[in-house]
Amino acid sequence: MTATGACAPDSAARTSADPPYPDEQLVEWGLVRSRLPQHIAIIMDGNGRWAKSQNLQRIEGHRRGVTSVRAVIEECSRLGLQQLTLYCFSSENWKRPEAEQRLLMQLLEQYLVEERSEILRQNLRFSVIGRRDGLSEAVLREIDLSTSVSAENTGMRLCLAVNYGSRGEIVDAVRSLAVDIAAGKLSPQEIDEDTLSSRLYTAGMPDPDLVIRTAGEMRLSNYLLWQISYAELWVTSRYWPEFDLNDLRQACRDYAARDRRFGGLTG
């Protein structure tokens, strides 16, 4: 399928989402509904390295990574998560070769077009965080269309971080506050954590409970630094194109076994 400005499917497609897993199925996988994370954020790393290991061009790794994206989105929806946030393109990715940048943007545009009917079928609420500057008009058009047509959906929020960097996000939030202070709309004494959070790209979204990173890298890569202050981290050596539903369920099992104290003590 080629990227076009295709219209959204009619509302009938909204009623055919796969049902949530029953408790018995969760138990079979060693999961308990009450112990599942409600918001998972994923750093999808290793597409290029996977392609190299297969003697393929880097872009083939990104294409193969889309398959993992599709599977994980549907699984998280069926697990009953409130939100899934995927790190798709960082602000630092503009440092990559121009040809790879162009192909990544084309792949993103194609994904947005081809997956729109699936977003509606699964009753997902679609959103994107990150700076719009630098993104093509075609990509912005598809982002806005997917956001608009899914706005009334009631299922899991699917959030893509595109042209995103957490330091830039915090800078933008501080600038917004500074403008209001200069205009006399806000005093410095009124600024607290909630005030700053309300100016972040993620305003109104819950903080992640679990951060998953693939490809074995032990760093956060400028991803949701404010929001993941108390999130649990789970790292796998598997490249993103290799990441499968068993890996996701294992991450959820490990999360459930941890004692989240949020800086306090347990009895």
**Domain membership flag for residue 266:** no
**CA 36, CA 255: separation in Å to the nearest integer?**
8
**CA 93, CA 134: separation in Å to the nearest integer?**
12
**CA 117, CA 140: separation in Å to the nearest integer?**
18
Token representation of residue 232: 């649990």
* 45 catalytic per annotation: yes
What's this model's pTM, rounded to 2 decimal places? 0.91
Q: How many domains does the chain have?
A: 1
Token representation of residue 68: 């993992």
What's at 205, amino acid-wise? M
The active-site residue, picked from 10, 18, 23, 93, is 93
**Domain membership flag for residue 23:** no
**Domain membership flag for residue 235:** yes
**CA 4, CA 218: separation in Å to the nearest integer?**
38
Give pLDDT tens digits along the chain (267 positions): 233 333 333 333 445 678 999 999 999 999 999 999 999 999 999 999 999 999 999 999 999 999 999 999 999 999 999 999 999 999 999 998 898 899 999 999 999 999 999 999 999 999 999 999 999 999 999 999 999 999 999 999 999 999 999 999 999 999 999 999 999 999 999 999 999 999 999 999 999 999 999 999 999 999 999 999 999 999 999 999 999 999 999 999 999 999 876 666 555
Residue 91 belongs to domain spanning: 31-164+209-255
**Domain membership flag for residue 64:** yes
**Buried residues in 51-70 as b, exposed as e (16+ CB within 10 A):** beeeeeebbbbbbbbbebbe
**Domain membership flag for residue 171:** no
The active-site residue, picked from 45, 47, 153, 163, is 45
**Domain membership flag for residue 147:** yes
What's at 5, amino acid-wise? G
Q: List all residues 6 or more positions away from 156 whose beta carbon is below 8 Å from its beta carbon.
A: 76, 77, 80, 81, 82, 83, 84, 122, 123, 124, 125
**Domain membership flag for residue 3:** no
* 93 catalytic per annotation: yes
Here the CATH number for the domain that contains residue 90 is 3.40.1180.10
